[in-house]
């Protein structure tokens, strides 16, 4: 299967998604913030990055921008539930249309939606 870098500042989401991905036989590296994700990204060889967009310190938009600068062909699935100040769906559309995320999912999403998105991204 795929080597996946999973990035989310919500530890419960990170752990749940990691378990789901590992159950589907993906190799998963977790990062709970942007700086940790970049460190792993620069030293790893990932097939896919799944990143939350709204995070403290370095948000997912900045993370995607830096990853695309370093590795323009990296496949990215952006996920977000939004916050009180910004619509998650608007942020997701910007990640896809402006920064080149391959696919987007708005939280909450179910297993089938996640699995379908991953399959589509990895097979494109």
How far apart CA 101 and CA 111 sit, in angstroms, is 20
pLDDT digit of tens for each residue in the chain (124 aa)?
Answer: 899 999 999 999 999 999 999 999 999 999 999 999 999 999 999 999 999 999 988 999 999 999 999 999 999 999 998 654 555 568 888 899 999 999 999 999 999 999 999 999 999 8
Whole-number pLDDT of residue 92: 87
Burial of residue 48 (CB within 10 Å: 0-12, 13-18, 19+) is: buried
Whole-number pLDDT of residue 9: 96
Helix (H) or strand (E) holding 71: none
Structural domain of 100: 3-123
Q: What is the pLDDT of residues 83-106, one digit of tens each?
A: 545 555 688 888 999 999 999 999
Q: Identify whether the C-beta of residue 31 lies closer than 8 Å to the C-beta of residue 7.
A: yes
- The pTM assigned to this predicted structure is 0.94
Closest-CA residue to 33 (of 59, 68, 66): 59
Quote the number of domains for the chain.
1
CATH code at 45? 3.40.50.2300
């Amino acid at each position: 299967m795929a080597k996946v870098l999973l990035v989310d500042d919500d530890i419960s989401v990170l752990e749940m998604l990691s378990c789901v991905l590992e159950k589907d036989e993906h190799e998963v590296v977790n990062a709970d913030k942007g700086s940790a994700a970049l460190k792993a990204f620069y030293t790893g060889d990932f097939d896919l990055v799944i990143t939350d967009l709204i995070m403290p310190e370095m948000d997912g938009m900045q993370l995607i921008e830096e990853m695309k600068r370093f590795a323009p062909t990296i496949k990215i699935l952006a996920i977000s539930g939004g916050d009180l100040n910004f619509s998650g769906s608007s942020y997701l559309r910007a990640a896809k249309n402006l920064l080149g995320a391959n696919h987007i999912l708005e939280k909450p999403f179910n297993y089938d939606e996640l699995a379908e998105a991953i399959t589509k991204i990895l097979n494109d």
